[in-house]
Amino acid sequence: MEHTDHVNLIRRGIPGTGGVWADFGSGSGAFTLALADLIQPGGVIFSIDKDGTALQAQEKQMRARFPAVQVHYVNADYTQPLKLPPLDGVLAANTLHFLRDKEPVLNLFASCLKPAGRMILVEYNIQHGNFAVPYPLPYTDWERLANQAGFAVTQLLATRPSRFLREIYSAFSIK
């Protein structure tokens, strides 16, 4: 996927420029860059991943493409509590499919959000996993889990075909 694809998957879930967001499991930052493109220089991003090398690569890309967006790189395991300010939004793109038990992490994400905060999810819309997506999270399962985690509204944002696994989707949920 290209940068434009990443932006288009999450665009409708971002209410406008600015805000304080966290990208959990950000990896090399494809969706962090898309988030930066959408929230613009008035926004703040906490980019969280346990792979320090990926965060360093992401930081180089961010400085080159969106130098005015404030980004804090957090080398940590996002499944554990982190010291973050109250967040306007959470982004979790292609990361929850690595977790067998998603509910504790979703509760952790929800606890980081301000009232009416948003969570944007990007995942493969498949029922059965493989080595790359061991614990898939199809949209119908996301609706159920989001509700259990206390999110009041969940909506499908976009879908697009995937070269690897049928379809990728984005959704947002409001706390």
At residue 141, the 3 state secondary structure works out as helix
Residue 163 reports pLDDT greater than 80: no
Query: What band does 166 get if pLDDT is binned at 50, 70 and 90?
Result: confident
- With a pLDDT cut of 90, the percent of the chain lying above it is 91
Assigned superfamily of 3-174: Vaccinia Virus protein VP39 (3.40.50.150)
Task: Flag whether the pTM goes above 0.85.
Answer: yes
pLDDT (tens digit per residue) in 71-97 = 999 999 999 999 999 999 999 999 999
Q: What is the pLDDT of residue 165?
A: 74
pLDDT (tens digit per residue) in 101-123 = 999 999 999 999 999 999 999 99
CA–CA dist 77, 31 (Å, integer): 18
Domain extents in the chain: 3-174
